[in-house]
Amino acid sequence: MDQLIVLLPLLGAIIAGFFGRLIGDRGAMYVSSGLLLISMVLSCIVFYDVAFAHNARVTEVFTWIDSGSFEVSWALKVDTLTAVMLIVVTGVSSMVHVYSIGYMSHDPYKPRFFAYLSLFTFFMLMLVTADNFVQMFFGWEGVGLASYLLIGFWYERPSACAAAIKAFLVNRVGDIGFALGICGAFVLFGTAGFDQVFASVPGMADAQFEAFGISGHALTIICILLFIGAMGKSAQLGLHTWLPDAMEGPTPVSALIHAATMVTAGVFMVARLSPMFEYAPTALELVTYVGALTAFFAASVGLTQNDIKRVIAYSTCSQLGYMFFALGVSAYSAGIFHLMTHAFFKALLFLGAGSVIHAMSDEQDMRKMGGIYKMIPGTYLLMWIGTIALLGVGIPGVFGFAGFYSKDIVVEAAYASHSTHGTFAFVMGVVAAFMTAFYSCRLMFMTFHGTPRASKEVMSHVHESPQVMLVPLYVLAFGAVFAGLAAYEYFVGQHMEEFWGEALKVLPENNSVEAAHHVPLWVKLSPLVAGLGGIGLAYVFYIASPALPAKTAKALRPLYLFSLNKWYFDELYDRVFVRPARVLGFGLWKGGDGAVIDRLGPDGIAATTQNASRRTSLLQSGYVYHYAFAMLIGVFVLVTWYFLSQLG
Amino acid sequence: MMSELNLTAALPEVFLAAAGMILLMLGVFRGNKGTRLVLSLTVACFALAFIIVSVSMGRSEVALGGLFIADAFGDFMKLLVLAGSAVTLIMAMRYIEREDMARFEYPVLVLFATLGMLLMISANDMLALYLGLELQSLSLYVVAAFRRDHLRSSEAGLKYFVLGALSSGMLLYGMSMIYGFAGTTSFAGLAAQFSAGQPASLGLIVGIVFLSAGLAFKISAVPFHMWTPDVYEGAPTPVTAFFATAPKVAAMALIVRVMVGPFGELVEQWQQIIWFVSVASMILGALAAISQTNIKRLMAYSSIGHVGYALIGLAAGTQEGVNGILLYLTIYIVMNLGTFACILCMRQKEVMVERIEDLKGLSKTNPPMALALAIFMFSMAGIPPLVGFFGKFYIFLAAIEAELYVLAVIGVLTSVIGAFYYVRIIKLMYFDDPIEAFDRPIGREMSAILVATSLTIVLLSVGIAYLLDGTAMAAASLFPG
């Protein structure tokens, strides 16, 4: 069954990709969506089997590489962590598949799109079921490839191609770290299998790496390198620049890859490697700081963006920051909990945004929307559910939306870890929660309320999406409402220990999730209060007094510009990396390769040969006496040669 | 022994000579209407001679009072010559009818030329050598100018004749010097003298230089090659095909026999000549071919280059070297026959075309022919796994074993340059758009030749070991003991 879950999407990809013409658009769409739905049902069964019947297992498929002491198998490791990811990936992916049937109905390349989607799902499943570093790297690179293909799906648009290349290159930076980390782990442990590595971690807790006379704590180095990989894939501060641009892809792609699944691969990876990170406190600190800063940074940028998808993209980035600082304070279960709930409501928000874009004739700028809530009530309602889930609204002790439970436990765990980095993360988390509430409500108010700012023609076309697009939204909305309540006790509450089993490892002194249940009440309430404050401020700015945003922007112009231009990261990178690299590359191309190697090498030799060739053909004059003369010269030279050599 | 006639040893030659007379008579009585009959009978004679030679393969006899030797080396070469002559005659059949040169003298002249070649190959004396050579050359002069109403053809014949006469003069002069200094024209006598340890005098070496210059002319080695491009281009195409195959093999056999036989002990001396001629031929063949636009001229330079490679084997002066030459010539003759069959199929609207450009897009207009030509070109360029690679491989191997490193390196470099113009033809055929298709059908005998030659190339690539058995035996017969 485990193999089926992983291989059905691959089968779907192959059928849709290679036989799409044979079975037609419809066939390709239905086959790949159907296979994924089967895969999702199987995932649910496996989840029950693993998480509640405690049948965690490793299924070996076949030996992949057997070279000297290095042996790697294709094996599917299914424990609770993987089972959760299986549900999230197949669940969101199957919903996105179904949604895309409606969303892509006007696109001429449907089979290709569905093939890529299914291929992505296959790689993502490969990643989460990996039982060794190499297989994880395979899935890791595979999702990167699928992401590249899907961002650049509309390859006629230069901006889409640029975004795809940017995503690929930025991820490459992270992947170098990841690959080095894997190599480091292999050097240290002599194996790439997770179980073997984890078993020997405690014995290696004090091992040192030495290079060039500098020595460092081996596990810390490995974990930081691995985390750099996670930063790239999960768009953490510094390597986040590709994620907003990735919104060039079709919206279902943004929902699946750039909100729910692929970008959480980094979170998954750190959680999976928790037995290693637990012994590398410095690395965990770094994770916390980066996560907290990302949460704050992305939320602050989200405040001023005008593109509906970019706002949600920065929101995703910010929420990923939450997950990471949860991991950083050893609250792995809280991080994964937030990952799970986030997958539901963020996919819901993206798909809802897609529905809006669909309704507005492909308009993405919120400044050209407004006043459409009566025309698309279904989408409107669903978007609010997603927003409230994101904000984490709820009544403590009674009921709350998904984000209420997961975000709160993350923030509380940060506080409860009673460390400098934990407190820093707590503060950042609360501030970010305030900003999240503001920009989310700003998005809702600008999009749906106020006076219509779109042209008459567009407004006359505004229409509710077809059922095939709405039904997946209902499913996701259901998850966004109830996932938090349903899963709370298992993920981070009383049944936590038995639920997770061996999947996550937390050292006793680091158990911040347990401590989080005993924090003071003001800590528990602070994210909620911050959120409500943000909602209120947004209401004042965009409903009560619509002139206020412009005035504020004017008054705080430097801050406004700083946020609007995304802290000038792209410009900075352009100056520091892109342009010097271009100059260097251009110089080496023209000066090094062209002028030196080509001119003296291939081109030069070819030109010399041609020149010689022309000269030799000139010898062929056509006159018999020239020919006879040449013969006589030949004999003369040879005879002279012998005379000289015999005499001398 | 010396006085014995022993005509049975020369049975193929005697048979061809007699057949030639009879066919000549037949032609005279039937007139030009009988051309096809005479041609067919000539091919049949070649086939019969081929059988006679192959049946008696492996013997080693001396005949005609010591002037004639029949051994495995000679027999192997004779088989190549007979096959080459026969196939080129078949290729010529339709051409001479179409181009209005269907006269019965043509096959008869080819027959006498071939007879001359067989005698050259079996020569065991300077005078026998000269007689065979002249019988061949005189026939070839006439054949080259066979379209005497055609300016290019007669020009080619005349040039060939004048320069050939010059080379014959050098040859005779060299022989006379050798006779003057050594006192004998017999190969066996010369060999006996040198193996007795008698040092070679300077006069004798000068004689050898002149002799080898004359022979180098026949194999069109640089700097005695100048006639080749003009004659190849000017002569009617079937004649060019004939020139490029049988006479080359015969002349190469002759030069090998002369150098390795009577002057085998003087290898130190003549090695330098062969080395120089070989390097010059390889370089010129590779360079000059690049700028050619006419495919027949291209083939002329190609053959100059190939002769250069074959001469590497002679420069080595060892049994492996001769083995390499035999292998190389066998492969060379098959590739050339196939290529010229393709060239003879280059007709547009009933007119022969000869530009390399005309091959553009052949893969689209005539895929089988393009495939065959691609096989020949790849093989000529020496690209593995085709058999042309093995030809070069064994030659270079022999050179390495004889410690002629510079020669081997130059050979490899020039074959890289040479690959350019061979592969360019493939590029034209497969990657360029066709301008105008060639006339079809190309004729049954042409198709058969194309299939047979390309199949031979492919099969030899796989079964090179079988060919090596034959060449090893033939090479061993030149090195007694």
Q: Which of A410, A403, A407 shows the shortest CA–CA distance to A479?
A: A403
Burial of A141 (0-12, 13-18, 19+ CB in 10 A): middle
- Structure tokens that stand for B426 in this block: 């493939």
User: Is the Cβ pair B226, A626 closer than 8 Å?
Assistant: yes
Q: How distant is the Cα of B198 from the closest Cα of chain A, in angstroms?
A: 16
Distance CA(A293)–CA(A429), nearest Å, equals 9
Per-residue model confidence as pLDDT tens digits over B449-475: 999 999 999 999 888 888 998 899 999
DSSP codes, B220-247: T-TTS-THHHHHHHHS-HHHHHHHHHHH
Token representation of residue A330: 């050893």
Residues above pLDDT 90, as percent of chain B: 68
Tell me which H or E stretch contains B320: helix B319-344
Q: What per-residue confidence (pLDDT) applies to B481? A: 59
Q: What residues in B contact A609, CB-CB < 8 Å?
A: 287, 290, 417, 420
Q: Could you tell me if B99 lies within 8 Å of chain A, comparing CB atoms? A: no
Residue type, A438: F
Q: What percent of chain A has pLDDT above 70? A: 100
Give the pLDDT score at B3.
52
The verdict on a CB contact (< 8 Å) between B288 and A642 is no
Query: How do residues B395-421 score in pLDDT, each as one tens digit?
Result: 999 999 999 999 999 999 999 999 999
Distances A280 to A283, A508, A522, B149, B375 between C-alpha atoms, Å: 5, 15, 31, 98, 65
Residue A442 has pLDDT above 70, yes or no: yes
What is the pLDDT averaged over residues B96-108? 89
Q: A537-574 in b/e burial notation, b at 16+ Cβ within 10 A? A: bbbebbeeeeeebeeeeeeeeeebeebeebeebeeeee
Partners of B202 on chain A (C-beta within 8 Å) are 642-643, 646
**pLDDT tens-digit series, residues A546-595:** 888 888 888 888 888 888 888 888 888 888 888 888 899 888 888 888 88
Residues in chain B closer than 8 A to A645 (CB atoms): 272
Backbone angles phi, psi at B233, to 5 degrees: -75, -40
Burial of A522 (0-12, 13-18, 19+ CB in 10 A): exposed
Q: What is the mean pLDDT of residues A614-625?
A: 83
| Pick from A613, A619, A631: CB nearest B224 | A631
**Nearest alpha carbon to residue A423 among A546, A285, A318, A557:** A285
pLDDT of residue A206: 79
**Which of B159, B206, B284 lies closest to A639 in CB terms?**
B206
In chain B, the N- to C-terminal Cα span, in Å, equals: 21
- pLDDT of A212 above 80: no
What's the average model confidence in pLDDT over A483-494? 85
- Provide DSSP, A214-247: EEEEHHHHHHHHHHHHHHHHTT-TTS-THHHHGG
**B51 interfacial to chain A (CB closer than 8 Å):** no
A642/B209 Cβ within 8 A: yes
pLDDT at A290: 93
CA gap B220, A260 in Å, rounded: 78
- Reduced to 3 states (helix: H, G, I; strand: E, B; else coil), residue A110 is helix
Contacts of residue B453, defined as CB under 8 A and 6 or more positions apart, other chains included, come to: B334, B335, B337, B338, B341, B372, B376
Q: Which residues of A touch B275 (CB under 8 A)?
A: none
- The answer to whether A261 and A109 are in contact (CB under 8 A) is no
Task: Report in angstroms the alpha-carbon separations of B126 from A99, A115, B112, B130, B314.
Answer: 95, 81, 20, 6, 20
**pLDDT bucket at A97, cuts 50 / 70 / 90:** very high
How far, in Å, CA of A38 to CA of B289, rounded? 67
Residue B1 confidence (pLDDT) = 45
A8-22, A267-281, A375-389, A594-608: lowest mean pLDDT where? Answer: A594-608
State the Rg of chain A over Cα.
Answer: 30
* Chain B residues near residue A620 by CB distance under 8 angstroms: 226, 229-230, 288
Nearest to A642 among B166, B206, B222 (CB): B206
Gap between the Cα atoms of B128 and B204, Å rounded: 20
Q: A642 and B162 in contact by Cβ < 8 A? A: no
Q: How confident is the model at residue B119 (pLDDT cuts 50, 70, 90)?
A: very high
Which residue among A609, A622, A642 sits closest to B230, beta carbon to beta carbon? Answer: A622
> Which comes out higher in pLDDT, residue A261 or B115?
B115
pLDDT in tens, A132-144: 898 999 999 999 9
Inter-chain CB proximity B162 and A620 less than 8 Å: no
The answer to whether the Cβ–Cβ distance between B292 and A617 falls below 8 Å is yes
pTM for this entry: 0.66
Q: What is the mean pLDDT of residues A62-83?
A: 81
Question: Which chain A positions have a beta carbon within 8 Å of B224's beta carbon?
Answer: 630-631, 634
Q: Tell me how crowded residue B31 is: count the other CB atoms within 10 A of its CB.
A: 10
pLDDT given for residue B240 in this prediction: 94
- For residues A622 and B229, what is the distance between their CA atoms, to the nearest angstrom? 9
Three-class SS state of A194: helix
Interchain contact, A610 vs B291, CB within 8 Å: yes
Q: Does B76 touch chain A (CB under 8 A)?
A: no
Instruction: Please list every residue in chain A whose beta carbon sits closer than 8 Å to the beta carbon of residue B209.
Output: 635, 638-639, 642
Structure ipTM: 0.87
For the record, the structure tokens of B384 come out as 């593995």
Does B2 have pLDDT greater than 60? no
Q: What is the signed CA dihedral for A314, A316, A317, A322, rounded to 10 degrees?
A: 130
pLDDT of amino acid B380:
93
Mutual orientation of helices A624-647 and B151-182 as an angle, nearest 10°? 20
Q: Over 70: is that where the pLDDT of A293 sits?
A: yes
* Cα distances (angstroms) measured from residue A547 to each of A446, A551, A585: 13, 7, 49
Which of A167-171, A478-482, A511-515, B230-234 shows the lowest per-residue confidence on average (mean pLDDT)? A511-515
What pLDDT shows up at residue A648?
A: 62
Name the β-bridge partners of A344: none
Q: Give the model's pLDDT for residue A527.
A: 86
Dump pLDDT digits (tens) for B180-217: 998 899 998 998 888 887 777 888 889 999 999 999 99
Of A50 and B379, the one with more pLDDT:
B379
Residues A476, A344 contacting (CB under 8 angstroms):
yes
Are B121 and B253 a contacting pair, CB within 8 Å? yes
* pLDDT tens string B49-95: 999 999 988 788 888 888 999 999 999 999 999 999 999 999 999 89
CA distance B318 to chain A (A): 23
Q: What average pLDDT does this structure show over B156-168?
A: 93
| Residue A214: per-residue pLDDT | 76
pLDDT tens digit sequence for B274-304: 999 999 999 999 998 988 899 999 999 999 9
As a whole-number percent, the residues of chain A with pLDDT over 90 amount to 29
Backbone angles phi and psi of A520, in degrees to 5: -65, 160
pLDDT confidence of residue A488: 86
When pLDDT is cut at 50, 70 and 90, the band that residue A119 belongs to is: very high
Q: Residue B351: what pLDDT?
A: 85
| B31 pLDDT above the threshold of 60 | yes
For the ranges A550-554, B33-37, B245-249, B331-335, which has the lowest average pLDDT? Answer: A550-554
How far is it, in rounded angstroms, from Cα A596 to Cα A588?
10
Beta bridge partners of A59: A76
Contact A56, A47 (CB under 8 A): no
CB contact under 8 A, A643 and B223: no
Average pLDDT, chain B: 91
Q: Does the pLDDT at position B271 exceed 80? A: yes
b/e A289-306 (16+ beta carbons within 10 angstroms → b): bbbbbbbbbbbbbbbbbe
Q: Are B236 and B153 in contact (CB under 8 A)?
A: yes
